[in-house]
Homo-oligomer: A and B are copies of this chain.
């Protein structure tokens, strides 16, 4: 029997539908070549949909829950108040689907220009694993004497042993299958309570993974080492807020948002995981046909790996990297080929690959 996977597709706003369209063409090619199939359902979601219907994640939750994976485009529109979609959709999905680990490979592909001088692909091959459901993202804060000169705003970061444990355990397993090095990134000298709990969990789990070496780097120092010495890192595990920050720096190093991807993983099988390029909806270039679909296609590769289609995942990644490396620029007309053409080129390589 052919393997079959149920995919929920959320193209979203701006360039989202354009780049997700390319990813689906590449998925067709991968199915034809690697002998599996997907059942895809597309859902309207994002800023335009919200402006029309007022619907956010809550209205989609039941529909999406049955999917094996979610392929996500991008969301956002200047007409929607900042925070609404972020909290009402993205964070809500991470919470309700318990997508505990946000996994972001920081990999410099050969042929992709990096702004860090002298950096080479061999030196830049790490993965950042970000806790994705708690910390400062719990949204607990309050203000007393609001609107007066005596206003005080309190913002809380909540860290549970269970929440930290599941993501650190995942990071250890990942490291065990790679270069066997796990780095905790935090600010333990200042955020003492949270920092101690993170360090305790890493120390405790380390005994279960004796083959994995662990070390520790403060988040401020990480901003120094990540661009200058990324070869120091294999898997970096960190909290929600620090992860948000250092993964953007990771994207810079690997050549920009165009190639950066992110998996929001549910680790206990209770709900689907979500895969996305980390670029935004880029309303300024939407419709021009000059969006680079590589990020979306690389996130498809992550999704395929997650669904157990390892060969297809490798082929999609390799094809994307091949085409990426041949481009004179990473975005805009300087790419020399429009969005759809790039998608078709990558799909063609996947279809013919090794046949």
Contacts and interface: CB of A to CB of B under 8 A. Distances in A.
A223 B194 contact: no
A252 B223 CA distance: 8
A152 B141 contact: no
Contact of A223 (B118, B162, B223): B223
A54 B152 CA distance: 35
Interface in A130-165: 136-137, 139, 141-143, 145, 148-162
A245 B223 contact: yes
Given A115-B227, A153-B158, 10 more contacts: A83-B188, A87-B189, A91-B190, A115-B116, A136-B191, A139-B192, A141-B192, A145-B161, A149-B162, A155-B194
A248 B228 contact: no
A197 interface: yes
B155 A189 contact: no
A143 B252 contact: no
Copies of this chain, complex-wide, total 2
Interface string A179-211: 000000001111111101100100000000000
Contacts of A257: 224
A86 interface: yes
A155 B152 contact: no
23 contacts: A83-B189, A83-B192, A86-B189, A87-B190, A137-B190, A139-B190, A149-B162, A150-B160, A150-B162, A151-B161, A152-B158, A152-B159, A153-B159, A153-B160, A154-B158, A154-B194, A156-B156, A156-B157, A157-B157, A220-B245, A220-B247, A223-B249, A224-B251
A196 B196 CA distance: 29
Interface residues of A, number: 59
Contacts of A192: 83, 139, 141, 155
A252 B162 CA distance: 36
Query: Which has the most chain B C-beta neighbours within 10 Å: A117, A155, A228?
Result: A155
A309 to B, nearest CB: 31
Nearest to A157: B155
A246 B224 CA distance: 10
A221 B149 CA distance: 30
Interface in A227-259: 227-228, 241, 244-249, 251-252, 257
